[in-house]
Chain A
């Protein structure tokens, strides 16, 4: 038991001394994960939409060529960034640019570099999710929209993407949670995130395990809060489970539910007998 007491005391010691570093680390992690996820989703949506533009044999060859080219480019982008570790991508970009351009082009802030890497990475994952989300929307929705004269863009923005967004909401949440954790690799280019705070504090205090405990609890709290928030957003997107009837007139409730009697029967309004006998009975 006294090991736990020891751990508690060590954490307290760490917290009193370095709480500022931890808290600003948490802030930076959350901001980076949020911005990265949002921009990544935008990239994913753009790729997903470009990827699903329909074309047929009867289209102009130039249009078909460009659409195919776009698909190939997106495919390469997705495979490369999904298939390499983010930690290497960060190094590649952050040190590669000045290496090739003799320091002419480089990231002046680690923030910019980190945001670019996380966004591009998320975008690669989201591109596929968005494509799946768009495909999973019933084709009848597209036909319904086309039938009232909507263009491809209008169909996408008004009908398909809102439904695709709802379908991939769990994926977006997933990516956000992954980003909260995986931005920890950005310490490699000197980004001051939550994990970087751990490295800094243990460098000064040598309290490896207590600091790691703080990190564990910190990350878990962030991700749990995020999942909770996402569930709530999903519920909001689904809208109310019930609806209100808008009653303007008592009779409207029954309108349209009335069946016309067969022609020629005494209850048919069109028949001559209707006026004489039908009315009193009803």
Chain B
């Protein structure tokens, strides 16, 4: 049994009187690659944003190495430094070049030496194939390139878990592949990943576990073979049949 990184217990979230997540339980262990699938509005992204404390859950707990990060006296910023996030809309810092984007967090948050941070950032920028573009500003590169930089930026912080919030949904179809390739390589290198996605092929081929969400609850979860090959619940069957077309 691999070391447990995150344990989510009875997590609920409502916006006003509207419940978005209800009693969510799941764990993330080292080396897991978990895909969260489900229809729009099923609460996938909210779940991910709760895990990163970008949204404050209404109730429940998030244990990070056994310590509840929702309790008083915990520092969200410190916790977030260990949990990387890649957004649908990239969210690269527009006032910085590609390289600075990957360096600033290491220097400001991890207090690394600027030169060491640069070398470390270059390592990941090369992995995602963006090393030639380090002098470009985010507005000068394409969506797929931006997302690859965003992945390098998150990875340069050496996170324990990397969260992906629909990383390819805002991309033109021909750019989806380049981002998925980078993610596939990351998964193969043993990175712990939690991916909210509409890319069924990715969920099936790359992830080790698939979570299907419906109406704010985890409807079904299991290995890709189980969930795609032999779904148990009617909702899951209906959802998957829409993708098979």
Contact = CB atoms under 8 A, between A and B. Distances in A.
B178 interface: yes
A243 B136 contact: yes
B205 interface: yes
B132 A148 contact: no
A154 to B, nearest CB: 5
Contact of A252 (B92, B105, B131, B153): B131
Given A146-B77, A154-B108, A246 B54 contact: no
B231 to A, nearest CB: 22
A202 B105 CA distance: 62
A158 B108 contact: yes
Contact of A146 (B80, B92, B126, B130): B80
Contacts of A158: 93, 104, 108
Nearest to A147: B85
Contacts of A58: 56
A248 B123 CA distance: 13
A230 to B, nearest CB: 19
A148 B54 contact: no
A148 B84 contact: yes
B134 interface: yes
B109 interface: yes
Nearest to A142: B91
Given A141-B93, A163-B94, A256-B128, A147 B133 contact: no
Interface stretch (A41-49, A188-196, A258-266): A258-266
Contacts of A248: 131-132
Nearest to A244: B135
Interface in B82-118: 82, 84-85, 87, 89-95, 97, 104-105, 108-110
Interface in A150-196: 150-151, 154, 158-159, 162-163, 166
Given A255-B126, A256-B148, A150 B94 contact: no
Nearest to B105: A148
Given A256-B129, A259-B181, A144 B93 contact: yes
Contact of A247 (B126, B132, B184): B132
Contacts of A263: 205
Interface string B138-176: 001000000010100110010000000000000000000
Interface residues of B, number: 49
A148 B182 contact: no
B132 A147 contact: no
A239 interface: yes
A145 interface: yes
Contacts of A257: 129, 178
Say what secondary structure dominates the interface of chain A: loop
A273 interface: no
A47 B131 CA distance: 40
A72 B80 CA distance: 33
B200 interface: no
A140 B90 CA distance: 8
B129 A255 contact: yes
Contacts of B87: 140, 143-144, 147
B93 A256 contact: no
B20 interface: no
Nearest to B53: A146
Contact of A151 (B77, B110, B157): B77
B182 A256 contact: yes
A253 interface: yes
A149 interface: yes
A140 B84 contact: no
Interface in A232-274: 239, 242-248, 252-260, 263
Given A158-B104, A256-B129, A257-B129, 4 more contacts: A58-B56, A149-B110, A248-B131, A260-B184
Ranked 7 nearest A-B pairs via Cβ? A256-B129, A149-B81, A144-B91, A255-B129, A148-B105, A147-B85, A140-B91
30 contacts: A58-B56, A138-B91, A140-B87, A140-B90, A141-B93, A144-B92, A144-B93, A144-B150, A147-B87, A149-B81, A149-B105, A149-B109, A150-B77, A150-B105, A150-B108, A150-B109, A154-B108, A158-B108, A159-B93, A243-B97, A243-B137, A247-B132, A252-B129, A252-B132, A254-B129, A255-B126, A256-B129, A256-B181, A257-B178, A258-B181
Interface of B: 52, 54, 56, 76-82, 84-85, 87, 89-95, 97, 104-105, 108-110, 126, 128-137, 140, 148, 150, 153-154, 157, 177-178, 181-182, 184, 205
Interface of A: 56, 58, 138, 140-141, 143-151, 154, 158-159, 162-163, 166, 239, 242-248, 252-260, 263
